[in-house]
C-alpha cells in the first residue's frame, strides 16, 4: 500500500503527511520481490541485445561487407564485441542465480545481479551508439553522423540514467523501496 493516504480523520503516517511509506516485508520477502522485478527488467533488455547481437553476427556475410572501409570494419568489430559483452552481462544474473540457488544467498544474489544488469545496460548503451554510428556512416557517409549519434547518446543517458537518478534523489522514500 505504498503511497496510499490513510484518509480524513486518520493519524498521519511516520512522515507526518498522512501517507504510508515503504513495505512491511522481511528481508527474504524483499529479496524475492526485488529478484522478480529484476528478472522482468532483464527480460526486456536481454531480448533487445540478443536480437541486435544476432543481426550484427550476420553482417559479415552480406555482399557489401567487403566494401567497408577500415574505419567501418573497426567500428563493426567494436560493436560486435560490445554486444557480446552486453549479452554476457545481461544473461549473467540467470547463471548467477542458478549457481547460488538454495544456499540462502538471495539478498546477495539480487545485489550482484543488479550490478551485472547495470553493467549490461551501460554496454548495451555503448553497443547501440556504435551500431548507430556504423549504420549511419555506411548509409549516408555524412559528416554530421557523429554529432547525431552524440545527440542520441545524450538522449539515452537522459532516459536511462539521468531522469531515474533525478527522480530517486528527489523522491527518496527510504531504503529497500
Low-confidence winner among 12-16, 82-86, 114-118, 137-141 (lowest mean pLDDT): 12-16
Q: What is the mean pLDDT of residues 148-162?
A: 97
Number of structural domains (the chain) is 1
Percent of the chain residues topping a pLDDT of 90: 64
Q: Is 110 a member of any domain?
A: yes
Q: Domain limits at 91?
A: 27-161
Region 96-102 average pLDDT: 84
Query: For residue 94, what is its C-alpha cell?
Result: 540467470
pLDDT at position 28 is 85
Report yes or no on 60 lying in a domain. yes
> Is the predicted pLDDT of residue 126 greater than 90, yes or no?
yes
The answer to whether position 14 is within a domain reads no
Average pLDDT, the chain: 87
43-47, 80-84, 164-168: which has the minimum mean pLDDT? 43-47
Assigned domain for 36 exists: yes
> Which cell is 2 given?
505504498
What whole-number percentage of the chain has pLDDT above 70?
85
C-beta of residue 157 within 8 angstroms of C-beta of residue 133: no
First to last CA, the chain: 12
174: confidence class by pLDDT, cuts 50, 70, 90: low
| Cα 32 from chain centroid (whole Å) | 20
**Structural element, H or E, at residue 43:** helix 27-59
Asked, for residue 113, whether it belongs to a domain, the answer is: yes
* 9 pLDDT more than 90: no
pLDDT at 19 over 60: no
pLDDT at res. 100: 84
> Are 13 and 21 contacting, i.e. CB atoms less than 8 angstroms apart?
yes
Query: CA 105 to CA 153: how far, in whole Å?
Result: 36
| 167 in a structural domain | no
Residue 46 belongs to a domain:
yes
Residue 10: inside a domain:
no
What is the predicted pLDDT for the residue at 161? 96
Range with the poorest average pLDDT among 78-82, 107-111, 128-132: 107-111
Among the ranges given (16-20, 68-72, 149-153), the one the predictor scored with the smallest mean pLDDT: 16-20
74: pLDDT strictly greater than 80: yes
Which pLDDT belongs to residue 3?
A: 43
57 pLDDT more than 60 = yes
Amino acid at each position: 500500500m505504498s503511497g496510499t493516504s490513510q484518509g480524513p480523520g486518520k493519524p498521519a503516517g511516520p512522515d507526518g503527511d498522512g501517507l504510508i511509506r515503504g513495505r512491511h516485508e522481511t528481508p527474504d520477502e524483499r529479496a524475492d520481490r526485488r529478484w522478480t522485478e529484476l528478472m522482468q527488467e532483464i527480460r526486456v533488455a536481454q531480448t533487445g541485445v540478443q536480437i541486435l547481437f544476432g543481426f550484427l553476427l550476420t553482417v559479415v556475410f552480406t555482399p557489401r561487407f567487403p566494401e567497408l572501409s577500415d574505419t567501418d570494419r573497426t567500428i563493426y568489430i567494436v560493436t560486435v564485441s560490445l554486444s557480446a559483452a552486453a549479452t554476457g552481462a545481461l544473461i549473467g544474473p540467470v547463471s548467477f542465480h542458478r549457481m547460488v540457488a538454495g544456499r540462502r544467498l538471495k539478498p546477495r544474489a539480487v545485489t550482484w545481479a543488479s550490478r551485472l544488469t547495470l553493467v549490461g545496460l551501460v554496454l548495451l548503451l555503448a553497443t547501440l551508439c556504435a551500431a548507430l554510428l556504423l549504420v549511419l556512416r555506411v548509409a549516408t557517409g555524412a559528416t554530421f553522423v557523429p554529432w547525431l549519434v552524440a545527440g542520441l547518446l545524450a538522449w539515452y543517458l537522459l532516459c536511462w540514467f539521468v531522469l531515474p537518478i533525478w527522480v530517486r534523489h528527489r523522491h527518496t522514500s527510504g531504503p529497500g523501496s
